[in-house]
Amino acid sequence: MDLARSFSADRIGGLIWIVFGSAVLYGSWTMDRLQSLGIPPSTAPGVVPGLLGIGIVIFGLILVVRRDTADAPSFGEDTDAAAPAKTADANELHWRRAALSGFLCLMYGGALLGRGLPYWLLTFGFLFVHIILLDETSDVPARLTVRRLITAAIVAPAFAIIVTLVFQYIFLVRLP
């Protein structure tokens, strides 16, 4: 096995998710269980984050151990006719897209959320910009099209409203 294949983007991402999920699991384990208030263990504050941490670790492990299928032949396809590996330019494009997506997420959740803008408006803006800049249907750089604008104009407000309503009326979470 060559070194480039053993450190594929999925495997690196999987390791990052395992570390993050483990941190979430540890944080949930060390949370106050509120036993002094008579809270049943099943409703303690760390239960849901702990379950989410376990799920994140499991999916991270799947990314790490799964077989790379990008250059594997399709069902019934001759192994000699497998598609060639991606070029360096395509890999660089994917890393740039991942970095841009990470930057947008950090700006949304780390810098802007809870700083004065209503949650629904901030979520709409985040989704709209994310769709405009990063939506692709093939391995070509994203280009602004009328179809992409229409998709962003429909998807972003719909999901912003749905997520806001779910958090406020189902999870009973007061949003900024």
At 80-106, the pLDDT tens digits run: 444 455 566 666 667 888 888 889 999
Can you give the residue range of the structural domain that contains 143?
A: 86-176
Q: Considering 72, 98, 116, which residue would you say is the last residue of a domain?
A: 72
Last residue of a domain, one of 72, 95, 122: 72
- Tell me the CB-side half-sphere exposure of residue 100, using CA atoms within 13 A: 16
The tokens of 106 are what? 């950090």
Q: Answer for the pair 164, 113: CB distance below 8 angstroms, yes or no.
A: no
Question: What pLDDT score does 118 carry?
Answer: 92
Q: Name the pLDDT band for 72 (thresholds 50, 70, 90).
A: very low
Among candidate residues 11, 46, 72, the one where a domain is terminated: 72
Other residues' Cβ atoms within 10 Å of the Cβ of residue 126: 20
Q: Structurally, how many domains does the chain consist of?
A: 2
Please compute the mean of the pLDDT values over residues 45-64 and round it to a whole number: 91
Does the structure show a pLDDT above 60 at 73? no
Give the model confidence (pLDDT) of 115-141 as tens digits.
Answer: 888 999 999 999 999 988 887 655 555
Q: Tell me: the pLDDT tens digits for 134-168?
A: 876 555 555 677 888 898 999 999 999 999 998 88
Q: Which two tokens stand for residue 149?
A: 């604008």
Whether 128 is covered by a domain: the verdict is yes
Classify residue 102: in a domain, yes or no.
Answer: yes
Same domain, 61 and 99: no
pLDDT (mean) for 12-38: 89
40 belongs to a structural domain: yes
Q: Are residues 119 and 165 in the same domain?
A: yes
Which residues neighbour 77 within 8 Å (Cβ) at sequence distance 6 or greater?
none
> For residues 41 and 105, which has the higher predicted lDDT (pLDDT)?
105
Q: Which of 104, 101, 102 is nearest to 126 (CA)?
A: 104
State the pTM of this model.
Answer: 0.57
Q: Are residues 47 and 97 in the same domain?
A: no
Say whether both 65 and 95 belong to one domain. no
